[in-house]
Structure 1
Amino acid sequence: MTTTARLSRRSLLRAAAAGTTALAAGCSGGARSVQVAVVWSTSELDRFRQVVAGYPAPVQVVSAGNDIDAFLRARHLAGTSPDVAILPRPGLVTEYAQRGWLSPVRPSAEYSVPDELGDLLTAEGQRYGVWVKAAHKSLVWRLRSMLPEPPATWDELVAMTRRLGALARRNGGPAPLAIGAADGWVLTDWFENVLADVAPDDYNTLAGPYADWQGRAVRDALDRLAELWSVDGAFLGGGRRALLTQYEESVIQVVYARRAVMLVGADFTADVVGPFQRGPQAPTTFPFPGAQPGGRPLIVGGDAAVVFADARGGVELIEWLTRADSFQPWLRAGGYLSPNTNVSIDSYTDQVGRRLVEEMRAPGTLRFDLSDQLPGAFTGSDGVGIWRIMQGFFADVTDGVGANEAIRRATGQLAAAARSAGGGR
C-alpha cells in the first residue's frame, strides 16, 4: 500500500498523536515494551497478539490500517517511529532501507525461505526484512453443492461462465462469479495469475526498470481476462455493481447468500469464510485454472518484518519471530501460512493448510505478487497506480468496450504509470 510523499498536516498530527499515546502506554507499566506496527486488523490482529504474548518481554501491537506507508511516514517525520513494522510489500522494505530508516536484521538460524522470497528483502547486500506470513493467491472458492465439478482449465472456466451466465439471465439463478472489484488488489490478483500462466518468463521482468507494459505478455494476459470478464451475466449485478462491491461482501455472496457460484481469493479468505465452515456445506477451494490440465500458476504474497534504526529491542524481537515455533498459536488457530520452510508441515491443523504449504515449497514454482513489487505509487492503492488502471480496464470490458480498445487504453496507462515511477515503459 502506498501514498504520495506529501502528507497532509492532519495526517501527520494524527499519526504523531497515535505514536505519543502508544509510547506512553508502553512505558506506563515500568518496563519499556517493544512497539510493533502492523497492517492487520480483526482476527489477524488478535492472533498476532497471541503470538507475541509468548515473547519474554512486553510487546505492544499497533494496527496502522491499510495505508501503513502513510502511517509510518508520518511517524518518522514526528520522531515517533515504532521499533518494528510488519509491511505488506517488499518495495517498502527496500525503499525505507535506501532512505536510511531501517537497521539490518538478524534472523534466527531456524529461518529459511525460498530464494524467490528472500532476495526481495535485501538492499546493497544487506538483509533488511524477514518474511513472517505468506499468502497463497491462486485459489478459487466454491460450495460443492453449488459447483460439484470445478473447471480444470481456463477454457473450461470460460465455457462454464458462459453457461451459468445464460442460466442466471434466463432463470434468475446465481451468477457464475463474485468479485470485489471495489478493492483494486482483487483485480491485480486475477491479472497476475493469468500473466504467470500465459507468459511465465516475462512475469518477473515486469517488476524491473526495463519492463515493457505495452508488450505482448501484458496484452495477452489482458486479452484473456477480457474474454472472461466480458461474458454477459458473468458477475453478480453486472460490472458496475461489482465495482462497488468490497472483497468481504463478495466472499459472503458465494459462501452465505449463494448468489454467486465462484470467487477468486487468497487463503486469507478463510477469515471471512470461517463463520460458515459447517458440515458438508463448508466452502472449499480449487486451483486457479491454467491453460493446460494440471498446469497452473502459483502467486504468493507476504508480510515482512523490519526494524527501524536505533530501535531498542527490535532486532531481538525479529530474531524471535523467525524461530520455527514462534507462530504456533496462530498455526493452531488456523488461517496462517508460514514462509519459513523449517516450520514442520505437521504443525498445520488442517489438510488444506498442509496442501497449500507443500505447493509453496515446491522448487521453482512460485512467483511473488507482482503489484507488491512495483515501485512508488505504481504499486497501487485506493484510486491510484495499477489498482486504478485495472479497475478502469474491468469497467471497460464489462461495459461493452471492445477488447482491443480496452487493452490499448490499459497498456497505455500502465506504461505511463511505469515511466512516472521509474519502473519501465
Structure 2
Amino acid sequence: MRSKSSTIRTGRATTVLAALLAGGLALSACSGGGKDDGGAKGGKDGGGSAPAGNTVALPRLDGAQLEISAVWTGQEQANFKKVLAEFERRTGAKVTFVPAQDPIINFLGSKIAGGQPPDVALLPQPGAIKQAVDKGWAKPVGPQAQKELAKNYSQGWQDIGKVGGKQYGIYYKAANKSLVWYNAKVFENAGAKEPATWKDLLTTAQAVYDSGVTPFSVPGADGWPLTDWFENVYLSQAGPEKYDQLAQHKIKWTDPSVKQALQTLAQIWGKKDYLAGGQKGALQTEFPNSVTQTFTGGDQPKAAMVYEGDFAQVNIGETKAKVGTDAKVFPFPAVGSAAPVVSGGDAAVVLKDSKAAQALMTFLASPDAATIQAKLGGYLSPNKNVPISAYPNSVQQKIAKALIAAGDDFRFDMSDQAPQAFGGTPGKGEWKDLQDFLRNPGDVAGAQAALEKDAAAAYGSGS
C-alpha cells in the first residue's frame, strides 16, 4: 500500500481550479503576450511576490563536482541545464546532467550497484520516492533546503515529498495534466467550439471530422499519456473519493466505476477515424510527435487536438505554431458533474549527501531556479513565490496562477502514486494494459481483468 504521505488531499479546489482554467484560458487564448495580469502580487490572488534574481544565499563550492539525473530530454533538458549553469555561476561547483532512462528507479539501481549514483535525481512519482527511501538510497532534505521549502511551497506540495513524515523530495516541477491543446485554424474552418463537457467534446470531434481533419492525436507508443487520459475521465466521472480508493488499490480495477470510465474512453479510442493513423497508428506514435503533428501542416495537420499537460508547449515550440494564437487550449471536459484537475510533477531527491548536494536542493527549492526555467517556457512550478510574470505568455500565466490558487487541494496523478511496477514501467502494468485496451477498445472486461491482475501483484509486493 501507499504511504500516507502519497495520498493527496482535495476539496473545493477541484472545481475552483477547473473554473479558473475555463475562464482564464478562454480569456487568454487570443493572446500570446507576456504581460503580468496581476498574479505576481502574491497572497490570495494566486501569484508569487518574489522578484527574479538572487533571493537565496548559497555557499561557495569551488572544486565541488555534482551529478544530477532525470529522464528529461530535448528542450526540457536544455532549459534545465541553464538552471544548473546559474547554480554553477553562483557557487563555483561543476554540475553534470546525466540522462536517465525510464523507469528511473531501475536506472538508479544499476548506477548504485556500480558504485556511481548521481548526487541528486529527479523522480517523477511519489511511489518512486518511497521506493528510494525503502531501499536506503534517499537522504533527508537538509535544514536550509527545508527552510526554502517551507517558505515557498504549500503544505500539500511539501507533503507529497515526505515518507514516514520525513522530507525526502522537493517538487521542482509541476504539471497540470487536464488540458487539451488544439489547432485553432482547424477549429475555425470546422466551426468547432471549445467543449465544456464530454458530450460537447464528441460533438466537436464530429465537426472536425466532417471538415476533413482527424480529431485526435493519441500517443499510444508511450503508455503514460494513456494513464492520464484514464485518470481525467475517472476523476470527473467516478469522483474524488473513488479516485483515492483506486489510487491506493482499496477498490479493485474490476469495479463498475472502472468499467464505466473505460467505456467512456472507448467512445473516442474505439473510433478508428477519430485517431490519427487509427489505433495502429496511435500505438506507433510517441508523445513528442503526437504534439508536433497536431501543429504542423497548417490547417491540414494529421490531427486537430492532442490531450496532455502544460508541458506540451515545449513540443509546440518545435513547430512554427504560436501558443495563444495557432495553438490554443481548453480544460479537459467534464465527464461527470465537475471538470477534472489532475496534477503531476518531478521531485529532487538526494542520493549522495554532501554540502554541495544539499546546496543544490536549496537552490531548486528557491524561486531563483524555477524563475529561470519559467521564463524559458514549457514548465510549471509549484513554488508559490515564482512571479506569474515570469511565464512567457498569458496562457501559461493563467495555468500557473490556477495551480497556485489551488493551494493544498488537488489530486495527484494516480499512476504516479502507484508502485512503479504497475504505474511507471514501459511495457508493463497499467501502461501496457491501456495500450492493449487502445488496440482493442471493445474488450473492457479483458482490460479490467489485466489491470487488476497487475495491480494486485504490484501493490502486494510494493514494487
Which band: TM-score by shorter chain? Answer: 0.7 to 0.9
In the alignment, what sits opposite 1:371? 415
Which whole-Å CA distance do the structure 2 matches of 1:117 and 1:108 have between them?
A: 13
Secondary structure (helix, strand or coil) at the match of 1:65 reads: coil
Tell me the CA shift for residue 160 of structure 1.
2.7
CA gap 1:365/1:230 in 2 versus in 1, 3 angstroms = farther
Is 1:176 the equivalent of 2:215? yes
Secondary structure (helix, strand or coil) at the match of 2:392 reads: coil
In the alignment, what sits opposite 2:326? 282
Tell me the CA shift for residue 68 of structure 1.
2.3
**Which residue, 415, 422, 446 being the options, matches 1:409?**
446
How far does the alpha carbon of each residue in 1:120-163 deviate from its partner, in whole angstroms, 9 at most, with x for none?
22122211111001111111111221113222210011223244
Is 1:187 the equivalent of 2:226? yes
Tell me the CA shift for residue 280 of structure 1.
8.0
Secondary structure (helix, strand or coil) at the match of 2:367 reads: coil
**Which residue, 108, 116, 119 being the options, matches 1:80?**
116
Secondary structure (helix, strand or coil) at the match of 2:395 reads: helix
How far does the alpha carbon of each residue in 1:158-200 deviate from its partner, in whole angstroms, 9 at most, with x for none?
22324444x37xxxx2111111111111111100110110122
Which whole-Å CA distance do the structure 2 matches of 1:175 and 1:313 have between them?
A: 51
Which whole-Å CA distance do the structure 2 matches of 1:279 and 1:315 have between them?
A: 36
Secondary structure (helix, strand or coil) at the match of 1:335 reads: coil
How far does the alpha carbon of each residue in 1:193-215 deviate from its partner, in whole angstroms, 9 at most, with x for none?
10110122211222225232111
Secondary structure (helix, strand or coil) at the match of 1:260 reads: coil
CA gap 1:369/1:235 in 2 versus in 1, 3 angstroms = same
Is 1:157 the equivalent of 2:201? yes
Secondary structure (helix, strand or coil) at the match of 1:211 reads: coil
Which whole-Å CA distance do the structure 2 matches of 1:409 and 1:252 have between them?
A: 33
In the alignment, what sits opposite 2:396? 353
Count of equivalent residues = 383
**Which residue, 126, 146, 159 being the options, matches 2:186?**
146
Asked if the contact 1:142/1:261 (under 8 Å) is kept, the reply is yes
In the alignment, what sits opposite 1:49? 81
Amino acid at match of 1:420: A
How far does the alpha carbon of each residue in 1:251-303 deviate from its partner, in whole angstroms, 9 at most, with x for none?
1221103121111121111111113234985211111111368x311111111
Asked if the contact 1:98/1:123 (under 8 Å) is kept, the reply is no
**Aligned residue runs from structure 1 range 50-65, under 5 A:** 50-55=82-87, 56=91, 57-65=93-101
Asked if the contact 1:81/1:308 (under 8 Å) is kept, the reply is yes
Secondary structure (helix, strand or coil) at the match of 2:304 reads: strand
Amino acid at match of 1:155: K
**Aligned residue runs from structure 1 range 309-324, under 5 A:** 309-311=352-354, 313-324=356-367
Which whole-Å CA distance do the structure 1 matches of 2:295 and 2:80 have between them?
A: 26
Tell me the CA shift for residue 239 of structure 1.
1.0
Which whole-Å CA distance do the structure 1 matches of 2:284 and 2:249 have between them?
A: 33
How far does the alpha carbon of each residue in 1:355-401 deviate from its partner, in whole angstroms, 9 at most, with x for none?
1112222336531111111114101322111010001111112xxx3
TM-score (norm. length: structure 2) = 0.78
In the alignment, what sits opposite 2:15? none
Asked if the contact 1:108/1:323 (under 8 Å) is kept, the reply is no
Secondary structure (helix, strand or coil) at the match of 2:292 reads: helix
Tell me the CA shift for residue 115 of structure 1.
4.0
Is there any run of 5+ residues in structure 1 with no aligned partner, and where? Answer: 1-28
How far does the alpha carbon of each residue in 1:4-36 deviate from its partner, in whole angstroms, 9 at most, with x for none?
xxxxxxxxxxxxxxxxxxxxxxxxx98131211
**Aligned residue runs from structure 1 range 111-122, under 5 A:** 111=149, 112-122=152-162
TM-score (norm. length: structure 1) = 0.84
Secondary structure (helix, strand or coil) at the match of 1:130 reads: strand
Secondary structure (helix, strand or coil) at the match of 2:312 reads: helix
Which whole-Å CA distance do the structure 2 matches of 1:282 and 1:227 have between them?
A: 27
Which whole-Å CA distance do the structure 1 matches of 2:323 and 2:286 have between them?
A: 27
Amino acid at match of 2:235: A
RMSD of aligned C-alpha atoms? 2.2
Amino acid at match of 2:380: L
How far does the alpha carbon of each residue in 1:92-112 deviate from its partner, in whole angstroms, 9 at most, with x for none?
111111111111003253434
In the alignment, what sits opposite 1:37? 69
Tell me the CA shift for residue 67 of structure 1.
3.5
Amino acid at match of 2:74: T
Is 1:221 the equivalent of 2:261? yes
How far does the alpha carbon of each residue in 1:33-74 deviate from its partner, in whole angstroms, 9 at most, with x for none?
121112112211111111121221222221123332222101
**Aligned residue runs from structure 1 range 176-255, under 5 A:** 176-200=215-239, 201-255=241-295
CA gap 1:288/1:94 in 2 versus in 1, 3 angstroms = same
In the alignment, what sits opposite 2:172? 132
Tell me the CA shift for residue 418 of structure 1.
1.3
Tell me the CA shift for residue 312 of structure 1.
5.1
Structure 1 runs of 4+ with >6 Å offset: none
Amino acid at match of 1:80: Q
Secondary structure (helix, strand or coil) at the match of 1:303 reads: strand
Secondary structure (helix, strand or coil) at the match of 1:146 reads: helix
Secondary structure (helix, strand or coil) at the match of 2:184 reads: coil
CA gap 1:380/1:103 in 2 versus in 1, 3 angstroms = closer
In the alignment, what sits opposite 1:270? 313
Is there any run of 5+ residues in structure 2 with no aligned partner, and where? Answer: 1-60
Secondary structure (helix, strand or coil) at the match of 1:219 reads: helix
Secondary structure (helix, strand or coil) at the match of 1:204 reads: helix
Asked if the contact 1:145/1:281 (under 8 Å) is kept, the reply is no
